[in-house]
Structure 1
């Protein structure tokens, strides 16, 4: 664990391919690892952390392209363990940007951009969601195409799939009904402890 720092990094996370955009702005300690940032992104966006993820830094100065996430012992794809890499190794200046991909089946890609480096406010608890717009798509809705179809079906109560879609949303692990795609309240975000999430993910006591 890195030594304590008096600074936080402010990120804007935007879900690619959706208009109007779904985005969040969060403040996290600069001592965070990429695993910690992953958990913060999941919680602020509204994902359920059911699937694999990766951070995909752009290639720099001829270096080999790599991913940061959860290494697969069976398939050595060069993925570096996120809990071993500090975010400060990549995010050094305002404007630094990388891609965060979640659920390789649905293929949700996010732009993660460092928009500020600030001093911690003693009265605040971090991480913190400071702004954002629109609700996250329901988990497992089928990527951008499935999400657009979902909105179309929900908007038409006479659609032959409307009732089935409503029941799917109600029966989902999160119970998304009533689903309001245009609504988001930053103060509603609850952040989990990354250490706790790690223990759950890897079945550690």
Structure 2
């Protein structure tokens, strides 16, 4: 019962939005949800806020502050006064997917039912006591978290590169070999790093294709609708770049991320502001990488794709089209283009 906090969310007050902003964003209108409390922004009766949960399924809620009551000293907050009907299941595909799910339930078509939803799911069921039990549990967890934050932080010992080098120089060849084997087994990232280091280009290409699919699946998976876990896609690209240090593949992945995002926006319509900010910051990283390259070989290789994605951004709101044009103009070869090519259309 209730959303399980698996996905991104936002609270839109009109003049400001509380969400998990893009780390590269400098938009003062977007406030970091981890540093905000709703009661600091919901301050007067009649005030409304739009709560959006799961940017893929796009569950939109209208929240109205109807009345502010005196605090009861013997009452645990928050608590629910009343409600109706069950919460839709997670990852059911939004409003339309939920309607199909309910149709399957009515028709007892279990073969199409969502496998992660309990068979006893009743769309009309609402338990006030269960809701308040969950709220009390959340309140307890929040209090524990706040107490933990008050505790003085302990800094773990940190090994510097210089200290590591000194330790390695004191080891025998056999000890070094065993250390590398242990590192290989210790984490997936280290395994991938060493594989690329010793297997070379073939391993880097395989890792590139794997990362490319991860990015694609966040926007356009083979089945269903993309979940738009932008952080996961960006993390995959960052890890690939650190592991392989392959600039061409990293550039390709970053541009591919922007291409997928622009295509998603054109297919599904207007998105949240942070979605566009993420694309803009990634496109800026692409242009920065190209401008740092000596010569124009990479620019010529990716020019057509870059021009295509800028053209595809035409008509997209939130100032996205203009931002893409501005970044595109920063390419080193821009001023050398033939006269009359002042913008891409």
Q: Sort the TM-score into its range (normalised by shorter chain).
A: 0.5 to 0.7
Alignment match, 1:194? 142
Q: CA RMSD in A?
A: 2.6
**Residue equivalent to 1:165:** 112
Structure with the greater alpha carbon radius of gyration: 2
The superposition leaves residues 8-65 of structure 1 with CA deviations (integer Å, 9 ceiling, x where unpaired) of xxxxxxxxxxxxxxxxxxxxxxxxxxxxxxxxxxxxx61111000000112xxxxxx4
- Segment of structure 1 superposing worse, 186-195 or 117-126: 186-195
CA distance 1:124–1:165, shift in 2 (3 Å): farther
Distance change (3 Å), C-alpha of 1:117 and 1:105: same
Give aligned pairs, total.
142
CA-CA distance at 1:127 after TM superposition: 1.0
Please give the alpha-carbon distance, in whole angstroms, between the structure 2 residues aligned to 1:103 and 1:77.
Answer: 22
- Other-structure match for 1:118: 69
Larger helix fraction of residues? 2
Q: How does 1:36-51 map to 2 (within 5 A)?
A: 46-51=2-7
Distance 1:197 1:181 in 2: 33
Q: Conserved in 2, the CA contact under 8 Å of 1:138 and 1:176?
A: no
Q: After TM superposition, list the pairs within 5 Å mapping 1:127-138 onto structure 2.
A: 127-138=78-89
**Which residue in 2 is equivalent to 1:150?**
101
Runs of 4+ in 1 over 4 A off after TM superposition: 74-78, 195-199
Cα pair distance change 1:148/1:117, threshold 3 Å: same
Deviations 1:48-105 (A, max 9, x none): 11000000112xxxxxx43101122145565211233343443222110010000000
Shift of 1:195: 6.1
Q: Tell me the equivalent position of 1:82.
A: 33
Report which of the two has the higher share of strand: 1
Cα deviation, 1:135-162, whole Å, max 9, x if unaligned, reads 00000000000001111111013xxxx1
5+ residue gaps, structure 1, are 1-44, 59-64, 200-204
Which gives a bigger RCO, structure 1 or 2 (Cα 8 Å, sep 6+)?
1
> Is the 1:52–1:70 Cα contact (8 Å) retained in structure 2?
yes
Structural mapping, 1:52-131, within 5 Å: 52-58=8-14, 65-74=15-24, 79-131=30-82
Q: TM-score, normalised by structure 2?
A: 0.38
Gaps of at least 5 residues in structure 2 are: 149-153, 155-345
SS at match of 2:52: strand
